[in-house]
Amino acid sequence: MRKSWLFCVFWLGCGSPILPATKDLDSGMSGEDDAGWSSTTTNGGATDDAGDDGGPAPLENPTVSYVSAICTEGTSAFWKLQMVASDPQGIDTLSDDASCDVYPVGTAEGDPTDSFSLECDGAGSCRQNYDGEPLGVLCSAASSWDFHFKIMDEDGYFSSVEVVTGVVD
């Protein structure tokens, strides 16, 4: 019994490989080397790659890798819009549609001239044909229009807005 008790005292005094380190324990390094040492429990008990509330780290937002807004030559306002996106949680977590807002070039605030959805194919590719004539989004002034694309994933995270100026094909 005495040997078991001595073993336990020695084991606890040297540190347990089972118990997590705490902020008050010494790293075993001397002086300046010890200054950068930290324990595995920070942020009020959360691990370093967790959020401040101790829960899992937040998921990443989808990303848009390609956008285009091309007005078909020979038409007054027939636009072919395309966007390609991906999501760190998997391509299948992207929404079935993306959004596009049309603004005059250089404008990004206030009400857009038009807003609509693009249909996505489940593999991150979204397309939509758009008739800009009713609102004056014409091919003759293609370079006067900015198209603002974004997409959401099933967790409710939005991509950053990607902007492209219209061109005539």
- 46-70 pLDDT, tens digit per residue, is 333 434 455 554 568 999 999 999 9
Q: Where are the domains of the chain?
A: 2-45, 63-168
Q: How much is the pLDDT for 56?
A: 52
pLDDT tens column, 78-119? 999 999 999 999 999 999 999 999 999 999 999 999 999 999
Q: How far is CA 62 from CA 50, 125, 151, in A?
A: 20, 13, 7
C-alpha torsion 156→159→161→164, nearest 10: -130
* Between 11 and 95, residue with greater pLDDT: 95
The reply to whether CATH 1.10.645.10 applies to domain 63-168 is: no
Q: How far apart are CA 6 and CA 26, in angstroms?
A: 23
Q: How confident is the model at residue 12 (pLDDT cuts 50, 70, 90)?
A: very low
Tell me how long the chain is: 169
